[in-house]
């Protein structure tokens, strides 16, 4: 049986933004609040991780 969940940014007056799906506890996600952005570090294994950054005001993904 697979357990499923998702990480979503929700703000007032703007549409929600899906950051990622989590299946069977993967990836492990760490949220870091920066001065101008919200950063999500998605760790799949010891050797594989991804970092996504979102603007705090608009929730748009930053490059």
Q: How many domains does the chain have?
A: 1
Chain Cα centroid distance, residue 4: 15
Residues 13-45: tens digit of each pLDDT: 888 999 988 988 889 999 999 999 999 999 998
- Model-level pTM? 0.80
Residue 2 has what pLDDT? Answer: 80
Helix (H, G, I), strand (E, B) or coil at 54: strand
Q: Identify the residue whose tokens are 């799906």.
A: 21
Which residues, other chains included, contact 34 with Cβ-Cβ below 8 Å and sequence gap of 6+? 53
Q: Distance between CA atoms of 54 and 34, rounded to whole angstroms?
A: 10
Domain holding 16, by residue range, is 4-62
Q: How many CB atoms lie within 10 A of CB 39?
A: 14
């Amino acid at each position: 049986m697979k357990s499923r969940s998702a990480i979503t940014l929700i703000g007032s007056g703007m549409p929600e933004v899906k950051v990622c799906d989590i299946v069977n506890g993967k990836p492990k996600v760490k949220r870091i609040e920066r001065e101008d952005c919200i950063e999500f570090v998605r760790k799949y294994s010891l050797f594989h991780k991804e970092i996504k950054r979102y603007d705090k005001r608009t929730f748009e993904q930053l490059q």
